[in-house]
């Protein structure tokens, strides 16, 4: 999953690093070379890892990489997956090796991480405004003339700040900027097409900058119709700016697409024709790679229905957190050794899926009525349904495997995740840099 030409050295340095005892999930009592993790023969189901542990199922990752590549090819769009989801160089490498056009990021330090590990094209789907952060990105572009980085602007003030920094730290080529179209009452981005065009015209005039396209984020919407309208507005901006001859780049970038509506975005971009130069339509889904057992599962089931994808053939959940029953203090309650430090809690609590008494055999599905009802920093409260045999059988020391809702806020809890096969044999490790 690695071997990028430029960052290969940095990636292999991760394999060479000595991990010290004290890394979540690792059962080591002496330093261990990261690259040796996959040959330890650790079986999660035998209780060989430390708990809690975050695991990525390699079969699901493989499926999702292939699925998304085929989706993009079928829909004639590029993919710059949002790297902020995982911030994992090994996963960036896998995405790029599977056809991704670039990696989307949220801020300057994330760009620095991606560049260090060999990513050659990044899209900062955000305004860069702090002077030190603009300079950090300009420095990378200055030192590495083939590195490509797109940034956003949504105001004249933002354009002026970028232009000022570029004037003080000149580059050999203009900095490509996308104008962000926003949504009334939502996050950043111009609120009207007129505002967006004003910013686009300012970019066309600003020395050292060029207008490279338009960007929006439809993921803050709930309604497919509203998404389609928003994508139409983005397309209208592209046409208008092209009519006015504002684009300074050899191709026109148009980008949107979180992880819930990327089908509608791709379809919307297909309507863009008759431009003066080639169009580069780019999706940015970050969570397609792991999906989840919560908010994205729900959104992706809707997407599957829209796309006519049969149950079981869509994106698959790849990320699970396993913990141990540490206490059975009441008949209907089990306390687990994981908490807010280990699993997302911002878009629904973890979903208990499996239980297993450490040793041979396959895990058992937990009854659907089992529910994690609360988490503290380091504990989860698992409610066991009345009248179910699980109340008697679940014991201190049993393993519990949970799915999560919202991968972004679980990945950022784990400096190291373990890659496992379908039998939960540990095959390797993936780093994150948050």
Site for a copy of itself in 361-420 (CB under 8 A): 376-379, 381, 395-397, 408-409, 412-413, 415
22 binds a copy of itself (CB under 8 A): yes
Q: Which of 9, 21, 277, 393 binds a copy of itself (CB under 8 A)?
A: 21
127 binds a copy of itself (CB under 8 A): yes
Task: Tell me the C-alpha distance between 251 and 9, whole Å.
Answer: 32
148-169 per-residue burial string, b: 16 or more CB within 10 A, e: under 16: ebbbbbbbeebbebbbebbeee
Among the listed ranges 60-68, 153-161, 206-214, 419-427, the one in contact with a copy of itself (CB under 8 A) is 153-161
Give the closest residue to 175 by CA, choosing from 184, 164, 189.
164
Question: Shortest gap between Cβ of 421 and a copy of itself (angstroms)?
Answer: 19
Continuous H helices in 154-294? 156-168, 193-205, 224-243, 262-269
Question: Shortest gap between Cβ of 287 and a copy of itself (angstroms)?
Answer: 11
CA distance to 151, 277, 380, 404, 414, per residue, from 341 (Å): 32, 48, 10, 13, 9
Q: Which of 41, 145, 185, 387 binds a copy of itself (CB under 8 A)?
A: 185
Task: Tell me the C-alpha distance between 313 and 287, whole Å.
Answer: 17
Which residues, 66 to 85, sit near a copy of itself by CB under 8 A? 84
Give the closest residue to 304 by CA, choosing from 315, 319, 317, 289.
315
433 binds a copy of itself (CB under 8 A): yes
Q: Which of 36, 136, 236, 275 binds a copy of itself (CB under 8 A)?
A: 136
Among the listed ranges 177-185, 205-213, 243-251, 349-357, the one in contact with a copy of itself (CB under 8 A) is 177-185
Among the listed ranges 47-55, 56-64, 68-76, 309-317, the one in contact with a copy of itself (CB under 8 A) is 47-55
50 binds a copy of itself (CB under 8 A): yes
DSSP state of 362: P
184 binds a copy of itself (CB under 8 A): yes
129 binds a copy of itself (CB under 8 A): yes
133 binds a copy of itself (CB under 8 A): yes
Bin 402: left if φ > 0, else alpha if -120 < ψ < 50, else beta: beta
Question: Shortest gap between Cβ of 27 and a copy of itself (angstroms)?
Answer: 4
109 binds a copy of itself (CB under 8 A): yes
Which residues, 288 to 347, sit near a copy of itself by CB under 8 A? 324-330, 335, 337, 340-341, 345-346
CA 226 remoteness from chain centre: 23
Nearer to a copy of itself, 136 or 236 (CB): 136
Q: Residues touching a copy of itself: how many (CB under 8 A)?
A: 76
> What residues have CB less than 8 Å from 157, skipping those under 6 apart?
none
CB 180 within 8 A of CB 189: yes
Question: Shortest gap between Cβ of 186 and a copy of itself (angstroms)?
Answer: 8
Question: Shortest gap between Cβ of 317 and a copy of itself (angstroms)?
Answer: 19
Q: Which of 48, 78, 204, 240 binds a copy of itself (CB under 8 A)?
A: 48
Nearer to a copy of itself, 131 or 173 (CB): 131
Nearer to a copy of itself, 133 or 263 (CB): 133
Binding mask 190-209 for a copy of itself (x = CB under 8 A): xx------------------
Kind and range of the H or E run holding 123? strand 121-127
Task: Tell me the C-alpha distance between 89 and 71, whole Å.
Answer: 23
Kind and range of the H or E run holding 140? helix 131-143
Nearer to a copy of itself, 118 or 314 (CB): 118
Task: Tell me the C-alpha distance between 256 and 266, whole Å.
Answer: 9
Question: Shortest gap between Cβ of 158 and a copy of itself (angstroms)?
Answer: 6
> What residues have CB less than 8 Å from 55, skipping those under 6 apart?
44, 319, 320, 321, 322, 417, 418, 419, 420, 424, 426
Residue 161, CA atoms < 13 Å, CB-side half-sphere: 17
Nearer to a copy of itself, 39 or 396 (CB): 396
> What residues have CB less than 8 Å from 430, skipping those under 6 apart?
1, 56, 88, 90, 91, 416, 417, 418, 419
113 binds a copy of itself (CB under 8 A): yes
């Amino acid at each position: 999953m690695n071997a990028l030409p430029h960052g290969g050295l940095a990636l292999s340095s991760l394999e060479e690093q000595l991990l010290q005892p004290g890394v979540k999930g690792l059962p080591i009592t002496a330093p261990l070379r990261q690259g040796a993790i996959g040959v330890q023969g650790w079986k999660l189901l035998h209780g060989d890892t430390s708990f809690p542990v975050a695991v990525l199922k390699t079969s699901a990752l493989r499926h999702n990489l292939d699925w998304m590549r085929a989706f993009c090819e079928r829909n004639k769009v590029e993919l710059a997956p949002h790297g902020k989801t995982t911030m994992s160089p090994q996963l960036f490498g896998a995405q790029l090796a599977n056809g991704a056009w670039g990696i989307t990021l949220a801020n300057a330090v994330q760009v620095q991480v991606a560049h260090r590990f060999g990513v050659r094209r990044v899209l900062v789907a955000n305004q860069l405004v702090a002077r030190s952060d603009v300079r950090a990105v300009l420095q990378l572009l200055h030192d590495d003339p083939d590195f490509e980085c797109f940034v956003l602007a949504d105001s004249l003030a933002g354009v002026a700040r970028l232009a000022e920094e570029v004037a003080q730290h000149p580059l050999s080529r203009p900095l490509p900027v996308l104008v962000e179209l926003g949504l009334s009452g939502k996050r950043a981005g111009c609120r009207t097409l007129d505002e967006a065009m004003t910013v686009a015209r300012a970019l066309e005039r600003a020395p050292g900058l060029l207008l490279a396209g338009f960007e929006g984020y439809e993921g803050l919407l709930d309604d497919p119709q509203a998404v389609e309208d928003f994508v139409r507005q983005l397309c209208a901006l592209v046409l208008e700016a092209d009519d006015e001859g504002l684009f300074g780049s050899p191709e026109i970038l148009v980008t949107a697409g979180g992880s819930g509506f990327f089908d509608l975005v791709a379809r919307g971009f297909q309507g863009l024709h008759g431009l003066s130069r080639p169009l580069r339509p780019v999706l940015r889904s970050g969570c397609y790679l792991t999906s989840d057992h919560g908010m994205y599962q729900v959104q992706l089931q809707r997407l599957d229905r829209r796309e006519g994808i049969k149950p079981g053939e869509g994106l698959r959940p790849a990320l699970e957190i396993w913990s141990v029953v540490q206490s059975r203090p009441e008949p209907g309650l089990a306390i687990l050794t994981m908490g807010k430090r280990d699993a997302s809690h911002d878009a629904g609590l973890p979903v208990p899926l499996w239980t297993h008494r450490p040793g041979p055999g396959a895990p058992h599905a937990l009854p659907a009525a089992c529910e994690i009802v609360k988490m503290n920093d380091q504990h989860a409260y698992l409610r066991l349904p009345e009248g179910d045999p699980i109340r008697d059988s679940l014991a201190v020391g049993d393993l519990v495997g949970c799915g999560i809702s919202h991968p972004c806020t679980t990945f950022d809890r784990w400096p190291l995740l373990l890659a496992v096969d379908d039998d939960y044999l540990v095959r390797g490790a993936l780093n994150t840099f948050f």
